[in-house]
Structure 1
Amino acid sequence: MINKSSQVGNWINLAGYDVFVLEETGSTNDDAKNYSGQIADEFVVWAKHQTAGRGREDRYWQATEGCSLTFSVLLRPIEKEKEFLSRFTTLGALALTDLLSSAYALDAEIKWPNDVLIREKKVSGILTEITWRGSSIESIILGIGINLKDRAFTNAGKLRFPATSLEAEGINIESMQTLLEKLLAALQLRRQQLGSAQFLDDWNQKLAFKDKFMPIKQYQGKTEMLCPGSINPDGSLNARDQAGNWRVVHSAEFSASSIISSSTSSSSTEDCSS
């Protein structure tokens, strides 16, 4: 167990989670990894200023102080959850869409596989990492960043995807701690559904761009116009190409450029979900 008195930071409890609060750190995911072998389930590192946040493909970014909520949640999957490891990223995303809807009347969607959008603009990103003990999974770490204010993305011209903030959507967050507590409570509720059909149904309902062709770069390096259709139980994406053929995509990245409505595609006018 962690000797809390020896740590540089404050400890609080939110929604049943032990939360380690730092004024500043490089990466909350890295901090959570450092504690992985010392703590029980449901532990959070929250940094008020994160200077070396990490995204997919090891992209690094610096959060503007006071403009983002940046934290990492360490979870220890029980045996029945290990069958659904591909759903843990969406666990965080669905919890956030639940909260945005219930508390702020915002209609948010999930851009497969790891971003939350409002009006087709990114308000949150999630990076999931797994730690191992030998050949066994030790923990899953969800690194979550939420744009609270427009100043959270000062380098907007360099962003790979259009961004928004809760401020831009008319929401003024007076207390980051209250927002974090509400989100952790929503995360607990969603975790209870992790392996359920309801979880998958809700994921499909929140899937973004179901009616639009988008440039999707797969990790073999090939980019093509695909239209998201639905999510499979293993977390892979069913997507339709412009010739009308369905593909199963396991790992890829969406681009915001050249988005085309499926209804205006020269090759097909059928809805992507059909």
Structure 2
Amino acid sequence: MITPIPFQEIIEKLNIPAYKYFETIGSTNTTALSWLEEGAADGSIVFANHQQAGKGRKQRHWVTNPGSAIALSIIMKPTQQEKEYLQFFSAVAALALVQVLQEKYQITAQIKWPNDVLIQQRKCAGILLEAAWHGQELAGIVVGIGVNLFPASVPPAYLVQFPATCVQNHTHSSISQFDFLGELITAFSNYRTNFNFDNFHNQWENLLAFRGERVYIIENDESHISGTLLGVEFNGDLRVLTNDAKILTFSAADIQLRPTNDVWEK
């Protein structure tokens, strides 16, 4: 397999300890988890130009068309301090992506709880956190990040549960797949190095999509609860004021979040 020179240049510039590049792969997260169990170094990455079975929440899958997107998995071997905040690293990755979009491409983006990034209320990225264990001991985590860069990455409407878009549709700046990769890895590494929970939580809430707006919650793909999205609890749960003036919290495993004006409402 020939690794593209621009990709190699980004790897060298960022001092990535190890990488696996694939022209075509099933899932970067699956490969990264196996590599982690084999002893991959902290900060190693898996990147695919074409991903055939990307992984999302609730066992959802998607395809990354060749050259159209970022399909990246970052291997982390958390420090003792980081282990206290493991569940938040999907939001950390989302913040890193929002920063890149704003600073490099002048695009305003928001974080749709718990793990998506939206541009103009359309999904441009998804993040999936997975852990590897050796018995009761945590071997590490994999932060999987998928970003739609170009129009070819946007799936047909009938295949998605939420409206989708791509970065190129919202900027006049030229986009390089590998430059964007480098910018994203750099931003994530900086957030990780300088992590402060209070600052992180404030940024997350400030960038929370649909905050202060009416939303509905789909629990277990069945029952609906409507209310106003208030924010995120310190444990990462979503906080909602219901129509009957009750404040309820929801964990990511329980629900899907939709705005009440969602044209995709079923």
Q: Answer whether TM exceeds 0.5 for this pair.
A: yes
> Which residue in the other structure is 2:140 paired with?
139
1:40 aligns with 2:23: no
Residues 1:123 and 1:220: Cα distance change in structure 2 (over 3 Å): closer
Conservation of the 8 A alpha-carbon contact between 2:19 and 2:45: yes
In 1, the alpha carbon distance for the partners of 2:100 and 2:175 equals 16
Does the 8 Å contact 1:68/1:148 carry over to 2? yes
Per the alignment, residue 193 of structure 2 pairs with 192
* Residue 257 of structure 2 corresponds to residue 254 of structure 1: yes
The alignment-based identity, stated in percent, is 29
Q: Does 1:49 align with 2:50?
A: yes
**2-side partners of 1:225 and 1:259: how far apart?**
13
Deviations 1:32-91 (A, max 9, x none): 011103211011100000011111111111112221111111111111111111211101
Aligned equivalent of 1:83: 84
Deviation above 6 Å: which 4+ runs of structure 1?
A: none
Q: Confirm or deny: 8 A CA contact 2:155 2:164 kept in the other structure.
A: no
Q: Which runs of 5+ in 1 are unaligned?
A: 1-7, 261-274
Q: Which amino acid aligns with 1:145?
A: G
- Displacement after TM superposition at 1:203 (Å): 0.5
2:246 aligned partner? 245
Q: Which has the higher helix share?
A: 2
- Asked if the contact 2:105–2:173 (Cα under 8 Å) also holds between the matched residues in 1, the reply is no
**Paired residue secondary structure (2:103):** helix
Mapped to 2, the partners of 1:236 and 1:250 lie a distance apart of 5
CA deviations over 1:108-149 (Å, ceiling 9, x no partner) = 100000000011110100011111111111111111111111
Is residue 92 of structure 1 aligned with residue 90 of structure 2?
no
Contact 2:210–2:259 (Cα < 8 Å) also in 1: no
Which runs of structure 2 are paired with 1:1-274 in the superposition (5 Å)? Answer: 10=3, 12-17=11-16, 18-36=18-36, 37-171=38-172, 173-219=174-220, 221-251=222-252, 252-255=255-258, 258-259=261-262
Q: What is the Cα-based RMSD across aligned positions, in Å?
A: 1.9
Output the CA distance in 1 between the equivalents of 2:231 and 2:53.
34
- Distance in 1, matches of 2:31 and 2:23, equals 13
Number of residue equivalences: 253
With the length of structure 1 as denominator, give the TM-score of the two structures: 0.86
C-alpha distance after superposition, 1:2-36 (max 9, x if no partner): xxxxxx56464352323321111000001101110
Distance change >3 Å, CA 123–CA 225, structure 1 → 2: same
Where 1:23 maps in the other structure, the secondary structure is strand
- Confirm or deny: 8 A CA contact 2:106 2:171 kept in the other structure: no
* TM-score, normalised relative to structure 2: 0.89
Distance 2:64 2:251 in 1: 29
From the superposition, tell whether residues 171 and 58 of structure 1 become closer, same or farther in structure 2 (CA, over 3 Å).
Answer: farther
